[in-house]
């Protein structure tokens, strides 16, 4: 982790935990929305989307300034994400972390032994799935499976406690052959 990102994570943690005494004195009941978010954050954490869940918890914590019971829920999720970062399934790619890209090899291409070279272009206006995904392949059979796979990829800051960096016109290349081994971008 860079010094800048370490400083931000430290400031975020300090801000997040600056008022633990207030949170401990809270006797309010969490809102239905916070309880629903808690379940969704726990599912993300259980599934290994640690950086994404930590980012969402941090944002929700900041947005629930006047609801101490809701803040407790998001604080707990953030702490769990921070403690679970080493077991995340998300991988680093440039300035972001992302969940794995799962592309199903098209049956017609597999039967005929065809491969493809593909370029994927997309925007990251916010954490979550990519937007404006455009796929260009030498074999058109691969376009749809790649688009479908990209819908499932979650993008987040590189580490829990860091800010998300929006970007436009990002791209990466994929190469598929009839020997399915390492498809990594």
* Closest alpha carbon to 53 in 30, 70, 76: 76
Query: What number of other Cβ atoms are within 10 A of residue 109's Cβ?
Result: 18
User: What pLDDT was estimated at residue 110?
Assistant: 63
Average pLDDT over residues 97-119: 81
* Closest alpha carbon to 55 in 90, 22, 20: 90
Tell me if the pTM is above 0.75: yes
User: What pLDDT was estimated at residue 70?
Assistant: 93
Percent of the chain with pLDDT over 90: 64
The tens digit of pLDDT for each residue in 132-182 reads 999 999 988 889 999 999 999 999 999 999 999 999 999 999 988 755 444
Average pLDDT over residues 17-35: 67
Is residue 175 helix, strand or coil? strand
The tens digit of pLDDT for each residue in 71-83 reads 999 999 999 999 9
Cα 115 from Cα 109, distance rounded (Å)? 7
Contact by Cβ (8 Å): 70, 34 = yes
């Amino acid at each position: 982790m860079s010094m800048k990102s370490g400083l931000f994570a430290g400031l975020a943690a300090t801000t997040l935990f600056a008022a633990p005494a207030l949170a401990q004195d809270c006797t309010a009941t969490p809102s239905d929305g916070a309880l629903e978010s808690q379940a969704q954050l726990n599912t993300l954490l259980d599934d290994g989307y640690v950086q994404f869940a930590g980012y969402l918890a941090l944002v929700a914590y900041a947005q629930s300034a006047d609801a101490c019971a809701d803040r407790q829920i998001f604080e707990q999720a953030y702490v769990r994400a921070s403690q679970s970062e080493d077991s995340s399934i998300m991988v680093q790619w440039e300035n972001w972390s992302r969940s794995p890209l799962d592309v199903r090899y098209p049956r017609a291409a597999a039967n005929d032994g065809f491969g493809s070279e593909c370029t994927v272009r997309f925007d990251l206006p916010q954490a979550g799935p990519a937007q404006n995904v455009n796929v260009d392949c030498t074999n058109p059979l691969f376009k749809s499976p790649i688009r479908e796979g990209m819908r499932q990829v979650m993008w987040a800051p590189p580490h829990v406690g860091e800010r998300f960096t929006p970007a436009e016109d990002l791209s990466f290349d994929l190469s598929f052959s009839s020997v399915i081994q390492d498809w990594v971008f």
